[in-house]
Amino acid sequence: MATTFGETPFIRKKRRDEAIVRVVLGLMALAMVVPLLLIVGYLVERAWPLLSLDFVFTNPTHGMREGGVWSALLGTLYLVSVSLLIAAPVGVLAAVYLNEYAKKSWLTRIINLAVVNLAGVPSIVHALFGLGAFVLFAGMGRSILAASLTLAIMTLPVIIASTKEALAAVPLSFREACWNVGATRWQTIRGIVLPNSISGILTGVILQVSRAAGETAPIMFTGAVFFKRIEEGNPFAYSLSDQCMALSMHLFTITTQVTDAPKALPYATAVVLLGSVLLVNACAILLRLRLRARKKW
């Protein structure tokens, strides 16, 4: 265009503004991303002297001033798996209801609003709820079960949202074809809709795991303890009615309560927690990218 009409000052100014805006906005986006890389790099560098497989697989000792994170890591694994077992079926079925059964009505509107609000409830309020409902009212006491139930309800919206998205991505024509050969609604869901959206559903489940693993506030008063001695190397050292340690809680404890721990210890704990959460998230991202590349419709 410029060659046809020549460069008037007006067009030059337009071009210059455009270039400036692009750079400024780009820097703003980078300003969000660069701290992530810097911080992760800094944490890893400070943690480096302690990071080893031994650190992961030994128990904390000497009032949490030495040793590793095994009992906390195992506790987190328990909490995450139990909460996943509860949240995944309920969340997936809730999304199936919203996407496959619900009509556009006030009820659906309210359910969607409730899902958004459930996601917005502060984590500490979830903790109060878990304490009031599961620990005290249901009589579970402070236990892995009570903490996992609290985590499950807290992370439910994550699963519902991504499953709904995955289900909505299956074209309506798939369902219509199935209905037309006489399948019932549930047969269609089981035979056509779920198999075609399974990767998307898995992504949501993985994100739930990452969310549940990092949470501290909801488990603080419902089942996680500062310190608990367990047998090293035994993956079945906790039972559902036990209290347990958790990685996130452990990081909080050694940062704020244990003042004379070696400098690298909290960094190493933070790196183990951050590393596991980011690894889980990376799995979800890879799964999504593969799914997109493979998509048939």
Partner 1 sequence: MNLPPAPVAGTRPLSVSTGSPRGPRRSRAAVLGESVLEWVIRLCGISAILFVFGIFFFVLREGVGFLFGGLKLGEFFFSTEWYPTSLSNVRYGVLALIVGTFSVTGLAMLIAVPFGLGAAIFVSEFCSDRWREGLKILIELLAAIPSVVWGFIGISVMNPLIQEVFHVPVGLNVLNGALLLALMSVPIMVSIGEDALKAVPDSFREASLAMGATRWQTVRRVLLPAAKNGLLAAILLGVGRAVGETMAVLMATGHAVNIPKSPFDPVRTLTATIAAELGEASVGSPHYQVLFIIGILLFTITFAVNLVADLVVKGTAKG
- Binders of partner 1 among residues 126 to 185 (CB under 8 A) are 126-129, 131-133, 136-137, 153, 156-157, 160, 164, 167-168, 172, 175, 179-180, 182-185
Q: Which of 14, 229, 290, 295 binds partner 1 (CB under 8 A)?
A: 14
Tell me the CB-side half-sphere exposure of residue 99, using CA atoms within 13 A: 25
Quick check: 75 binds partner 1 (CB under 8 A)? no
Minimum Å gap between C-beta 150 and partner 1 is 10
- What would the x/- binding string for partner 1 be over residues 259 to 278, using CB under 8 A? -------xx--x--xx--xx
Calpha distance 204→214 (Å, rounded)? 16
Site pattern 184..203 for partner 1 (x: CB under 8 A): xxxx----------------
Residues 6+ apart with CB under 8 A from 33: none
Asked if 251 touches partner 1 (CB under 8 A), the answer is yes
The piece of 15-23, 51-59, 66-74, 195-203 that touches partner 1 (CB under 8 A) is 15-23
- The gap between the terminal CA atoms of the chain, to the nearest Å, is 39
Cβ nearer to partner 1, comparing 119 with 240: 119
| Placement of tokens 């620990």 in the chain | 135
Q: Does 125 interact with partner 1 (rule: CB under 8 A)?
A: yes
Interface with partner 1 in residues 24-53 (CB under 8 A): 24-26, 28-29, 31-33, 35-37, 39, 42-43, 46
Q: How many residues bind partner 1 (CB under 8 A)?
A: 102
At position 82, the amino acid (one-letter code) is V
Q: Judged by CB under 8 A, does residue 62 bind partner 1?
A: no
Smaller CB separation from partner 1, 24 or 53: 24
Applying CB under 8 A, does 90 fall inside the site for partner 1?
Answer: yes
Output the smallest distance, CB 33 to partner 1, in A.
Answer: 5
The CB-based long-range contact list for 268-271 (8 Å cut-off, 24+ gap) reads 268/47, 268/50, 268/51, 268/55, 268/69, 269/69, 269/72, 270/43, 270/47, 271/43, 271/44, 271/47, 271/51
Name which of residues 196 to 235 contact partner 1 (CB under 8 A).
Answer: 210-211, 213-217, 220-221
